[in-house]
A and B are shown apart, each in its own frame.
Chain A
Amino acid sequence: MTPRASRRDRILSRIVQLAFVGGVLALWYLATARWGVSHLLLPNPVRVWDQLKDVLASGEFVPDLRITLTELAVAFAISSISGVTLGYLLSRSQFLIRVFEPLLAGIYSIPIILFLPLYVLFFGLGPASKIALGATISFFPVVLATVAGFGYVERIYVVAARSMGASGFQLFRWVLLPAALPVILTGLRMGFIVALLSILGSETIASLAGLGHRIVHLAEAMETARMFAYIAFAVAIAALLNFVVTLIEARGRR
């Protein structure tokens, strides 16, 4: 394809995308304003926008956001530290890798959200059960990535470094760590995202506070416009966090 044709295609694609988003918004507006869809089911986009401005201006979101982010921070701190430590220890022996890796991968393939009722039973409805669930779910991608990162370093590099007389620490600092870091960072990013999702999820299902809880609360009060505003807010926060960790991962890879 000629560069000119491909540029024309790219512009056309952008137009199609804009038309798609615009079409969805227009349909949404027409459905509520003209076609009489109940505002309990689908609030008018203009009202949602007003509610969103109100939520942001009044600072009403601050306590909920703080709780959700605190839960996320604690859960991720627990899972990343324990996951990287355990992963490193396991990766030091090929035997341990072969014993534990299938075990961890097997547990990871079960939807751990199933155990949420148990966590609620153990830790109550407060933040503790969310932290525990988030830490459990995000532990697995971190530990599996750490094992994969440290456990499968090309042997030729290790042999070469040792034959040049590298000490144990030098080997770790200059060979193992650079080789493993990209894989571990990917695992940490995935762990962070699943921790965020499982915390939002457990807040939605059973909780006393937090963003997920606020959305459910508004849904039950049938305040749909404000609920849409909070959903948009939560999605924006999630997108922002996702963007930040992706950026950190990209920087760390260099």
Chain B
Amino acid sequence: MTQSVPEAVASKAGAARRAPPRAGLMRVVRRHPAIARLAVIAALLLLWEIAARDWVDPMFLSPPSRVIGSLGAVFRTPGVPAALQITFFELAVAFVISVAIGLALGLLLGLSRFSRASFMPIVLLLYGTPQITILPLFILYFGIGAASKIAFGVSHGIFPIIVIIAAGVQNLKPILLTSARSMGASRWQLFRWVIFPHMIPSFFAGMRLGMTGVLLGVLLAELYVSTAGIGYFTTLFTQNFDPTRLLGLISLLAVMAIVLNEIVRRAEVHFGRWRAE
């Protein structure tokens, strides 16, 4: 980077347009940052491959080629497919519970000014506490099985949903409510045709943050103690100094997390569209 600060800033949006003519390849890359992004990812993978082959003890790091090759073996390890299923089940149940309760409480808090003034500070206080410190309590109350993971996932997922839904309902313009009422809308009609459509964007935004929270909560609880879920196998592979299968399992989970996040994000974009004026 040889550009001075002002030049770099001034050439902001027009970087591609005003770039001096170069060889064809460079120009294509400049037009399509995605190509450069893929190249960066490939370079990182290559670096990892070389590091794992030549520099780092194979007890600790495994090259990506071998990790990908071992994905089949990870799946064939007795118990791993069941563990992935259990973890997915925990995530799904925790998410559904968070959304159901979060939606109900969010509406209660959002639609009444008084309950919002009374209980919102309490919700925000709970949302702000580091729940990780009470993880041992969840194990104490719900056991070391799936129930404690689900409960911990809900405790992470529910608060962002409540806060966002309450905020979304609250931002409803009073004029919309007044005009609907003056046209003789019943309570149900008011909810169905005014409040509900306005809630949709915040509902999906809440779902997205809730999903992030649920993933964090369930995975934390899994890693803390687990008898059959993926936490059991990550501990097992770590203790056996088996980085190949550990990395394989972690990549599978990362893919699961990315897919779940992406589904909710797509839903948010899709259903929030009508509002974009």
The number of chain A residues with a CB under 8 A from chain B is 64
A234 touches B6 (CB 8 A): no
A103 touches B6 (CB 8 A): no
B223 touches A92 (CB 8 A): no
B140 touches A41 (CB 8 A): yes
Shortest A170–chain B CB gap in Å is 10
Q: Which B residues are in CB contact (< 8 Å) with A74?
A: none
Bound together, the chains give a CA A238 to CA B5 distance in angstroms of 39
A93 touches B3 (CB 8 A): yes
A204 touches B135 (CB 8 A): yes
Given A176-B9, A204-B224, 13 extra CB contacts under 8 A: A92-B5, A110-B258, A114-B253, A115-B250, A116-B223, A117-B235, A158-B9, A166-B6, A196-B130, A204-B135, A219-B139, A224-B140, A238-B129
Over the window 134-172 of chain A, the binary record of Cβ atoms lying under 8 Å from chain B Cβ atoms (1 yes, 0 no) is: 000000000000000000010100110010001010011
User: Is A89 engaged at the interface, CB distance under 8 Å to the other chain?
Assistant: yes
Shortest A230–chain B CB gap in Å is 8
Question: Which residue of chain B has the shortest Cβ distance to A93 in the bound complex?
Answer: B8
Q: Quick one: which of A57-100 are within 8 Å of B by CB? A: 89, 92-95, 98-100
Q: Which A residues are in CB contact (< 8 Å) with B161?
A: none
Bound together, the chains give a CA A211 to CA B133 distance in angstroms of 9
Q: Which B residues are in CB contact (< 8 Å) with A103?
A: 37, 40-41
Give the residue of A9, A113, A171, A227 whose beta carbon is less than 8 angstroms from that of B5. A171
A109 touches B258 (CB 8 A): yes
16 contacts between A and B (CB under 8 A): A12-B114, A40-B140, A92-B9, A106-B258, A110-B254, A111-B212, A113-B223, A117-B235, A117-B238, A121-B60, A155-B10, A162-B10, A168-B5, A204-B224, A219-B136, A234-B133
User: Is B122 engaged at the interface, CB distance under 8 Å to the other chain?
Assistant: yes
A117 touches B257 (CB 8 A): no
Binding site for A on B (CB under 8 A): 1, 3-6, 8-13, 15-16, 30, 33, 36-37, 40-41, 60-61, 113-114, 117-119, 121-122, 128-130, 132-137, 139-141, 212, 215-216, 219-220, 223-224, 234-235, 237-238, 241, 243, 246-247, 250, 253-254, 257-258, 261
Give the residue of B215, B241, B243 whose beta carbon is less than 8 angstroms from that of A111. B215
Across the A-B interface, the 8 shortest Cβ-Cβ residue pairs: A219-B136, A98-B33, A16-B118, A13-B117, A117-B234, A13-B118, A94-B15, A201-B132
Q: Which B residues are in CB contact (< 8 Å) with A239?
A: 128-129
Question: Which residue of chain B has the shortest Cβ distance to A172 in the bound complex?
Answer: B5
User: Is A174 engaged at the interface, CB distance under 8 Å to the other chain?
Assistant: no
Shortest B261–chain A CB gap in Å is 5
Q: Which B residues are in CB contact (< 8 Å) with A244?
A: none
B15 touches A9 (CB 8 A): no
Give the residue of A92, A162, A201 whose beta carbon is less than 8 angstroms from that of B8. A92
Give the residue of A12, A95, A162, A204 whose beta carbon is less than 8 angstroms from that of B15. A95
B12 touches A155 (CB 8 A): yes
Shortest B58–chain A CB gap in Å is 12
Shortest B21–chain A CB gap in Å is 16
B117 touches A9 (CB 8 A): yes
Give the residue of B15, B212, B237 whose beta carbon is less than 8 angstroms from that of A109. B212
The residue in B134, B136, B137 that gathers the most chain A C-beta atoms within 10 A of its C-beta is: B136
